[in-house]
C-alpha cells in the first residue's frame, strides 16, 4: 500500500458513488420525506404529518392490494421452493440428453416476463388452449374463467410466475445437489434405503439450506409482483388481481399522488423487511440444525 495517494480509492469509487447516490440513496431519503407530504405532480404539496398513514388505514383498495400480493406470495413460495427441487433431482440423473432437457427447462427464464404473460394470456382465455387440454384429459367439465373469475385470477397470475421461475430455481438446486457427497447415497443404499427414503433422509436434510435460500428469494420477489398482473389483467376484474406495486404505480403515475404513493411504498418496504427478518430467523433456526 505504498505510494498510493489518499484520493486513489475515491477515484475508483467515484462512478459508483455518483450512480448510487443519485439513483438509490437520494431516492431513499426522498421517499421517506415524501411519505409525510401530500405532494401531487401538478399542484405540489406540503408536510401533512401522519395523514397518509391514516388514509392508508382506511383505504380499502390498499388493503385489497396488500391481500392480493400476500395471497400471491403464499401460493408462489411453496410452489417455487418444492417443484424446482423435484425437477432438479429429475434433471440430475446421469442419463443421455440431460443437457438438452436442462436447456429447455431453463428457456422460459430467458423469455422476459412480459413475453411469458402475453403467451399465457392467450392460453388462459376461456376459449384458450389450457381449457381445451384440461377438458380433454378430463380434469374439468366446462371452461374455467381463468382471468375473469375474481376468485381464480390471482392463481392464474401465480401460474405464470411459477412457469417462468421453475428453470431458474432448478439450476440453483442442481448446484446445491452437486455438493451432496455421493457416498452418503451409497451408504443409504447399502442400508437398504429406497429412492423415497433416500430423498427424505439424505437429500432433504442436506439441501435444506438451499431450500431456505430459494424460499427467501421467491418470497422477496413475489411480494413485489407487478408485471405479470399488469400484462395479464391490468389488475382486474374489479381489482381482484391488483397487487400492491400495481396500486402504488397507479396512485403515483396515473393518479399523480406522489406523496400518498410514497407512503404506501414505505409500507411495502416494511413488509419486505418483515419477510427478510422472518426468513433470517427461520433460516438460522431450521436450516442448519
What residues numbered 86-125 form the site for another protein, per CB under 8 A?
A: 87, 90-91, 93-97, 99-116, 118-123
**Residues binding another protein: what is the number (CB under 8 A)?**
94
Under 8 Å CB-to-CB from 39, ≥6 apart: which residues? 45, 257, 258, 259, 262
Q: x-or-dash pattern for another protein, window 195-224, by CB under 8 A?
A: x--------------x--x---x--x---x
- The yes or no reply on residue 282 touching another protein (CB under 8 A) is no
Which residue among 185, 249, 283, 287 contacts another protein (CB under 8 A)?
249
Q: Which of 38, 61, 69 shows the shortest CA–CA distance to 223?
A: 69
- Shortest Cβ 90–another protein spacing (Å): 6
Site for another protein in 118-157 (CB under 8 A): 118-123, 127, 129, 132, 136
Helices (H), the chain: 8-20, 26-34, 51-57, 60-91, 98-110, 113-123, 129-136, 153-178, 182-190, 195-198, 204-222, 227-232, 244-249, 258-282
d(CA 238, CA 149): 10
d(CA 248, CA 70): 15
- Shortest Cβ 175–another protein spacing (Å): 3
d(CA 229, CA 235): 6
Region binding another protein by CB under 8 A among candidate stretches 51-59, 150-158, 198-206, 252-260: 252-260
- Shortest Cβ 270–another protein spacing (Å): 10
- The residue assigned the cell 475515491 is 10
Site for another protein in 6-45 (CB under 8 A): 6, 8-10, 12-13, 15-17, 19-20, 22-28, 30-31, 34
Amino acid at each position: 500500500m505504498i505510494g498510493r495517494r489518499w484520493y486513489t480509492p475515491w477515484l475508483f469509487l467515484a462512478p459508483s458513488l455518483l450512480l448510487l447516490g443519485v439513483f438509490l440513496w437520494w431516492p431513499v431519503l426522498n421517499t421517506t420525506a415524501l411519505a409525510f407530504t401530500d405532494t401531487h405532480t401538478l399542484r405540489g404539496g406540503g408536510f401533512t404529518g401522519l395523514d397518509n398513514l391514516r388514509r392508508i388505514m382506511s383505504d380499502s383498495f390498499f388493503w385489497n392490494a396488500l391481500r392480493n400480493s400476500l395471497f400471491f406470495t403464499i401460493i408462489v413460495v411453496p410452489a417455487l421452493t418444492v417443484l424446482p427441487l423435484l425437477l432438479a433431482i429429475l434433471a440430475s440423473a446421469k442419463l443421455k440428453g440431460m443437457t438438452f432437457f436442462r436447456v429447455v427447462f431453463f428457456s422460459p427464464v430467458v423469455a422476459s416476463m412480459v413475453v411469458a404473460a402475453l403467451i399465457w394470456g392467450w392460453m388462459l382465455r376461456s376459449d384458450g388452449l389450457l381449457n381445451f387440454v384440461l377438458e380433454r384429459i378430463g380434469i374439468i367439465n366446462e371452461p374455467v374463467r381463468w382471468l375473469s373469475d375474481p376468485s381464480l385470477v390471482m392463481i392464474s397470475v401465480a401460474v405464470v410466475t411459477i412457469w417462468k421461475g421453475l428453470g431458474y430455481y432448478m439450476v440453483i438446486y442442481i448446484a446445491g445437489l452437486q455438493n451432496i457427497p455421493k457416498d452418503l447415497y451409497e451408504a443409504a443404499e447399502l442400508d437398504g434405503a429406497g429412492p423415497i427414503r433416500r430423498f427424505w433422509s439424505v437429500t432433504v436434510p442436506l439441501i435444506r439450506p438451499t431450500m431456505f435460500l430459494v424460499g427467501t428469494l421467491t418470497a422477496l420477489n413475489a411480494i413485489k409482483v407487478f408485471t405479470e398482473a399488469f400484462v395479464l389483467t391490468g389488475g382486474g376484474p374489479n381489482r381482484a388481481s391488483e397487487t400492491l406495486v400495481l396500486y402504488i404505480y397507479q396512485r403515483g403515475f396515473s393518479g399523480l399522488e406522489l406523496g400518498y404513493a410514497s407512503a404506501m411504498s414505505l409500507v411495502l418496504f416494511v413488509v419486505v423487511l418483515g419477510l427478510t427478518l422472518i426468513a433470517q430467523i427461520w433460516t438460522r433456526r431450521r436450516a442448519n440444525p
